[in-house]
Every structure is written in C-alpha cells, then in structure tokens.
Amino acid sequence: MLVLFSNKHRLHTPKFEYYDGVPTPYPEKPERIDAILAACRKLGLEVTEITEQPDLELLKEVHTPRYLEYLKNKCAEITDEQIMPSIYIHDTYAPLTPGTYDAALASAQLAVVAGDKMLAGQERAVYALCRPPGHHAEQDEMGGYCYVNNAAVVAEKLSKKGKVAILDIDFHHGNGTQEIFYDRDDVLYVSVHADPTTMFPYQSGFVDETGRGKGKGFNRNFPLPHKTTTLESYLETLKQALMVVSVHQPDYFVLSLGFDTFKDDPIAALGIPAEGYQDIARMIAGAINVPTAIIQEGGYNVEHFESLAENFLKGYLGLSG
C-alpha cells in the first residue's frame, strides 16, 4: 500500500464553526493527519509527500467553474476566518480562511495522484490522507468541513477507464458524492452512515434516494440508528453494502473512510470500538479485490486517531494483532 500526504493542509486551520448560533471549536484539526501518518510509519508503509497542485481542468469535471472561482476569490479577499452561508455555502460548518483554497486543492491532488497510481497498475491500494475532507462538497456547494470532493475527483478520473464503485463509511452521509454521480450508471455510490433524521447532513442519506434517470439503482443508502448500532449490527449492514458493490462488478474501487463511527468520537459516534476497524477493514479487503483508492474523510477523536488508523490498516493488510 502506498500512502500519500501533503503538508499544505496546515494552511487551513479554522478556529471555530457555528453550531446553533454559537461559535464552537473546530474539530477538523491538522493533528488528525499527523496521527494517521504516525500509524502508517509505525507499520512501515511507504509514505510519499505530494507537493504539486492539481490541474484545475480535472476539478472542473466535478465542480462548476463558477464555484471554484468563488472559492478561490473569497479566500484571496479575506484576511481572517469567515463563516457565512451563501449560494455556494450550505451551512456554518465550512469556514473560509485565506489558505483554504490552496489546502483544498492540495487535498484533491492526493486523490488525483492516487488515481494515477491505480491506472499505472502498480498498487493494489493507495491511501490518500486528504484534509480537508470532501464528501459533503457538491458540484456547486461547500459544507460540513468540505470544499472540494476528493473521492469524486478520483472516481471521475477512473470512470474514463472502467466501472467505478464508491463505498462511503464515514459516519455522515456523503451528500456531495451522491449529488455529483446521482444521474450516472458508471459510478455507483453506496453509503453506510448514521440515520440523517437526527444527524448531519439531515436532508439526504435516506433509503429511497436510489438515483435518477439512467443513474436509477446506482445510488444506495444504508442509514443506521444512531444510538443502538453495535459492531455486530454495523458489520451486518456493511456486508449488505459490499454485496451491492460486488454485484456492480467495478474495475476500480474508492473507499471514503471516516473514523467518526468510533464509539468515543466527540461529534458523531456509532458504537464502533477501536479494534472494530480491523474487522471492518478485513471485511472490505476480503470482499473487493480491484485497485482501490482509500480517501480520508472525517473522524475527530484525535487522541485515539493513531490507534483507529493502525487497527484499520492491520485489518486491511491482513497483519496480525
């Protein structure tokens, strides 16, 4: 497995978000990536720093030009953090800082390089340590800590060479990824997440959202009850989601990986103990045997992050312990 990271994510360090009208400390911190890197290095994985920025033409295949212009221009114009819904901003969980545009582009470049490596056929799996995350970013809208949809960028790129399946196991439904591919039959989107009735993103992630037009049947949501999900019931649902992916017979696989299903996550939590990520990863690696991009999404328990990543990687790579 090849691991990709960038240091440019440090350019994006908002101090707070607004929750219920109240400024709340921002949980999507740079230390999250440091912790995953520590786990990768501990396991002896090959880690590569990516320093270049992406070709904007690639990003314009998943986002509208006017949206990318807005993101760029706003960041260039502000001198301090700004939290303000607009037609391009879905909620008060997507603060802009002067460095947000550059950080979001650097994050997307990890997905681009992951795609290049997969197409070069050298790697079974590439783990892109994306930050900021991406799965809430729609074609024309940022929100929920997300600005550029990294998983969609790699899926779009791979879709030119074969059938793609995306499995999203972040605690939150990936409304952005769903929206971007909703009309398409060449990119399947499957998500396992907390029931959006009471959890972000609230308006999407329900079972009846199955795709539109020729995309009908190529979008599948598996919402889980927030309070009562256990590792056992989670794995049962994950097995069903993986079955949907297998039936699609993808040539390429994209995993949107969040560690916010961890039982002690400060903003989310879905009953998964740290060692549970070994079972989750083992089940995924056992079910899907095509070139894979693992795209980091959320997860906010920084103290446990290294252990969550280590458990996931051990399960995925079939390492003991």
- Kindly tell me which residue out of 67, 171, 182, 189 binds Zn ion, with binding defined by CB under 5 A: 171
Residue 246 binds which of ligand OKP, Zn ion, none (CB < 5-8 A, kind-dependent): none
Q: Quick one: which segment of 51-59, 76-84, 133-141, 154-162 binds ligand OKP (CB under 6 A)?
A: 133-141
Q: How far apart are CA 112 and CA 123, in angstroms?
A: 14
Report the nearest approach of ligand OKP to the CB of residue 298 (Å): 2
Instruction: Rule CB under 6 A: say whether 133 interacts with ligand OKP.
Output: yes
Of 202 and 214, which has the nearer Cβ to ligand OKP? 202
| Contact of 310 with 276, CB cutoff 8 Å | no
Q: What angle do CA 265, 282, 256 make, to 5 degrees?
A: 55
Of 19 and 206, which has the nearer Cβ to ligand OKP? 19
Instruction: Rule CB under 6 A: say whether 258 interacts with ligand OKP.
Output: yes
Within 16-35, the residues that bind ligand OKP by CB under 6 A are 19, 24
Report the nearest approach of Zn ion to the CB of residue 23 (Å): 20
Of 223 and 258, which has the nearer Cβ to Zn ion? 258
Q: How far apart are CA 173 and CA 205, in angstroms?
A: 5
| Contact of 294 with 126, CB cutoff 8 Å | yes
Residue 133 binds which of ligand OKP, Zn ion, none (CB < 5-8 A, kind-dependent): ligand OKP
Residue of 287, 300, 252 whose CA lies nearest to 151:
252
Instruction: Rule CB under 5 A: say whether 298 interacts with Zn ion.
Output: yes
Q: Quick one: which segment of 130-138, 220-228, 282-290, 305-313 binds ligand OKP (CB under 6 A)?
A: 130-138
Residue in 9, 90, 136, 173 annotated catalytic: 136
Q: Quick one: which segment of 42-50, 104-112, 129-137, 222-230 binds ligand OKP (CB under 6 A)?
A: 129-137
In order, the DSSP letters of 102-134 are HHHHHHHHHHHHHHHHHHTT--SEEEE--SS--
Residue of 96, 86, 171, 101 whose CA lies nearest to 136:
171
Of 145 and 147, which has the nearer Cβ to ligand OKP? 145
- Kindly tell me which residue out of 114, 267, 280, 309 binds ligand OKP, with binding defined by CB under 6 A: 267
- Which structure tokens are listed for 196? 């959006």
Distances 268 to 263, 290, 300, 315 between C-alpha atoms, Å: 8, 30, 8, 23
- Kindly tell me which residue out of 59, 297, 308, 316 binds ligand OKP, with binding defined by CB under 6 A: 297
Q: What angle do CA 255, 261, 266 make, to 5 degrees?
A: 130
Instruction: Rule CB under 6 A: say whether 240 interacts with ligand OKP.
Output: no
> Which residues face 141 on adjacent strands?
138
The verdict on whether 136 is a catalytic residue reads: yes
- Kindly tell me which residue out of 67, 127, 145, 252 binds ligand OKP, with binding defined by CB under 6 A: 145
Q: How far apart are CA 62 and CA 227, in angstroms?
A: 34
Residue of 53, 16, 56, 11 whose CA lies nearest to 33:
11
- Which structure tokens are listed for 252? 């390429």
Q: Which residue is nearest to Zn ion (CB)?
A: 298
Cα torsion through 242, 247, 250, 255, rounded to 10: -10
Instruction: Rule CB under 6 A: say whether 315 interacts with ligand OKP.
Output: no
**Which residues sit at the interface with ligand OKP, rule CB under 6 A?**
19, 24, 93, 133, 135-136, 144-145, 170, 172, 200, 258, 260, 267, 297-298
**Which residues sit at the interface with Zn ion, rule CB under 5 A?**
170-172, 258, 260, 298
Residues with catalytic annotation? 136
